[in-house]
Amino acid sequence: MKYWSTFNEPNIFVPEGYDKGKYPPGRCSPVLGGCKGGNSSTEPYIAAHNILRSHASAVQLYRKEYQADQEGFIGIVMSCTWYEPLLNNSQDISAVQRLLDFSIGWYLDPIVFGEYPTIMQDLVGTRLPIITLDLSEKLRGSYDFIGVNYYSTCYGADASYYLNNSYRRYSWDSLAFTTGERNDILIGPEMWPPNVYGVPYGVREMIEYLDKRYSNPPIFITENGFGHARDDNLPFSQIWNDTFRLDYLQSTLYYLKKAMRGGVNVRGYFVWSLLDNFEWIYGYTSMFGLYYVDFMDKLQRYPKLSGQWYQNFLQDGRSTSK
């Protein structure tokens, strides 16, 4: 039995590559600076639309030519940040929904319902490519599972009062902003890369949201972990004693179990990552591994406290004492 994903985190690499210009191909509007070319108001939507077209074609081909023989499954993997309203008012609650629609719904609504979220159609207007009837039929139901990469929860807040008449770009089109703190208190410990906050309960909120919005789809937690900045000057005893990661994984599994007992259709869970490795543009400066890799000594690998705990957990199945 095989599992295939057409794309991993398109809702990350498209904005970073075509709106902010930080990831390849490094495109953004000239007014933002630092890019040789691009249009942050249109190119992210065009790139995402082409991703959806290719996803639909890949799923169609797989189901026609390979699925029966392999008895396999095909889906897509999304980066899934949960959002809490910064303030308990209608404006910030609506802003949270817009953030979810512009990040997750941007891809999942088309593959489940065959169309972009209504709020995206309203706010983006003619800059949003049209999903034709033929493409809509190919997209609708083009998944056997949804992959969820969950790391972080942030606060979301309304920004329509000052972004409504601003220069148009993907990052501002949701008329919302995010932050990791409220009243100078972080929502959870900050990881490295920055602006990622370890909030274990967010995984339950996230997958329960997906369960309700998309009618109980099969879900895999395809990534979950805690990264921190690499410091080769630390003694190994401190690197080994990663209680922060252990606590985060235990608590996340606890909330995951509660969601499953509530009926969310979770089929699997994967820790990111087994080893300290190369993390996007942050390279080797970010450490997510259950095993420490000594890059100065022939890539020797040593289990951290979290790695030893996870091995025992896989053997006896007890995630936490909660």
151: domain CATH number is 3.20.20.80
Average pLDDT value for residue range 13-39: 95
Is the pTM of the predicted complex or chain greater than 0.85? Answer: yes
Residue 63 domain-assigned (yes or no): no
Whether 56 is covered by a domain: the verdict is no
**What tens digit of pLDDT does each residue of 157-190 get?**
999 988 777 789 999 999 999 999 999 999 999 9
Q: What is the pLDDT of residue 318?
A: 63
With respect to residue 266, please indicate whether it lies within any of the assigned structural domains. Answer: yes
Q: State the pairing for strand pair 73-79/3-8.
A: parallel
**44 falls within a domain:** no
Domain membership of residue 164 as a residue range: 72-316
How high is the pLDDT of residue 321? 46
Measure the CA–CA gap between 34 and 55, rounded to whole angstroms.
Answer: 31
pLDDT at 319: 55
User: Residue 36 phi/psi, 5° resolution?
Assistant: -80, -20
Q: Per the domain annotation, does 270 fall within a domain? A: yes
Could you say which of 16, 43, 223, 279 is catalytic?
223
Q: What is the mean pLDDT of residues 52-72?
A: 97
Check if 65 is active-site. no
Q: Is residue 49 part of a domain?
A: no
Residue 301 in any domain: the answer is yes
User: What would the mean pLDDT of 189-195 be, rounded to a whole number?
Assistant: 95
Q: Which of 17-31, 86-100, 308-322 has the lowest mean pLDDT?
A: 308-322
223 catalytic? Reply is yes
Span 226-259, pLDDT tens digits? 999 999 888 889 999 999 999 999 999 999 999 9
With 70 as the cut, is the pLDDT of residue 149 above it?
yes
Q: How many domains does the chain have?
A: 1
User: Looking at 9, 16, 43, 84, which residue is catalytic?
Assistant: 9
In this predicted structure, the answer to whether residue 53 has a pLDDT above a threshold of 60 is: yes
**Mean pLDDT of all residues belonging to the chain:** 95
Is 196 within the bounds of a domain?
Answer: yes
